[in-house]
Amino acid sequence: MKAIIIRKHGGSEVLSYEEIPDPVPKKGDVLVKVNYCAVNHLDIWVRNGILGKKVSFPHILGCDISGTLLEGFGNFKKGDKVVVYPAFESNVPRVSFGIIGGFGKYKGGYAELISIPKNNIIKKPDWLSDKEAASINVSYLTSWNMLEKSRCRKGDTILIWGANSGVGSSAILLAKAKGLKVITVASDKNKIKFAKKLGADFVIDRNTEDIIAKVLEITNQVGVDAVIDHVGAKTWPVSLEVIKVKGRMIACGTTTGGEATVNIRSFYSKEAQIIGAYLGSKSQLVSLHKFMKLKKIKPVIDSIYDLKDAKIAHQKMEKSNQFGKILLQISN
């Protein structure tokens, strides 16, 4: 089969398009023909490497997959269109689960074929196209989980960082559909325009505006009920400043670094909460599908590249030039 493999960690130049042997399914696995695989920032973390995290080379990236079953099992038939729930039980203490194509034992979806535990297979909803179905299993699922953890109710106000990113754009769409008032942050006029198109009520330009002052002005000096923070070190101090008394900050990412200096006094005197979010459960993915159908939400796709052009897709994400999800087309 054709696949993008990495033989070592490094920049986008380590992504190599090659012919490699087809995977042989292990006991309990099933073979899936990959139709689309979305690019997520996790792919870049794994490609670059993180100290203390291991992969076995040659490795295949990619966890956000829609495909076609090459054999039937249980209620599934050969030829069924499916999506892959990306997490599997981890054998590393204190990590609840590993991610397919991430750090760990499972090879990912930047390939024509993938061997997947049967338990990770979910029927592709009919109302989603193959490419749409491949866009939801990571960013949208994580945003859904974060919104649930935020405990926000209709009419509450939420701050969502990075409107153009996968997590930011999905969180805006889902939060608006849940009836929340959304303040988001973007960094240029096209990203601001995009955020407004997604339905954000207020968009703050982080290059020209004082974010804390602006959020307090919008919320009559009260602050927001919750913040969705996927950006990390650079945004944590601001996130904690703009949440209201008893507000919640939900964190899932470290795009700008994993060590932040925050105002601890401001945090505890508000009796605020910091809550971590790691993907979401399989049943949350199924309830997300139902919610998106009910609210007629389609994922926002920025661009689709051929598998062999994965390098260009990675470079686009690293420059934060995307407006929604970047996909790799593998077959179909």
Ligand X SMILES: NC(=O)c1ccc[n+]([C@@H]2O[C@H](COP(=O)([O-])OP(=O)(O)OC[C@H]3O[C@@H](n4cnc5c(N)ncnc54)[C@H](OP(=O)(O)O)[C@@H]3O)[C@@H](O)[C@H]2O)c1
**Chain residues that interact with ligand X, rule: CB under 6 A:** 40-42, 45, 138-139, 142, 161-162, 164-168, 185-187, 191, 206, 230-231, 234-235, 252-256, 277-279, 317, 320
The label of the residue with tokens 């969705």 reads 228
CB–CB of 301/132 below 8 Å?
A: yes
Structure-block tokens of residue 109: 């979806």
Compute the least distance from the CB of residue 170 to ligand X, in Å. 8
Residue type (1 letter), 206: R
Which is nearer to ligand X, 27 or 189 (by Cβ)? 189
Which is nearer to ligand X, 321 or 332 (by Cβ)? 321
**Distance of alpha carbon 25 from alpha carbon 114, whole angstroms:** 8
**Distance of alpha carbon 253 from alpha carbon 4, whole angstroms:** 25
For the chain, what is the total number of helices (H) and then of strands (E)? Answer: 10, 17
Compute the least distance from the CB of residue 148 to ligand X, in Å. 13
Compute the least distance from the CB of residue 185 to ligand X, in Å. 6
Which is nearer to ligand X, 32 or 326 (by Cβ)? 326
Structure-block tokens of residue 179: 């009836």
Q: Where are the beta strands (DSSP E) in the chain?
A: 2-5, 16-19, 29-39, 64-69, 81-84, 87-89, 97-99, 113-117, 121-123, 157-160, 181-186, 202-205, 224-229, 243-251, 273-276, 301-306, 325-329
Residue type (1 letter), 317: M
Compute the least distance from the CB of residue 73 to ligand X, in Å. 28
Compute the least distance from the CB of residue 21 to ligand X, in Å. 30
Compute the least distance from the CB of residue 207 to ligand X, in Å. 8
Helix 189-198 to helix 166-177 angle (10° resolution) is: 30
Structure-block tokens of residue 200: 């954000």
Which is nearer to ligand X, 129 or 255 (by Cβ)? 255
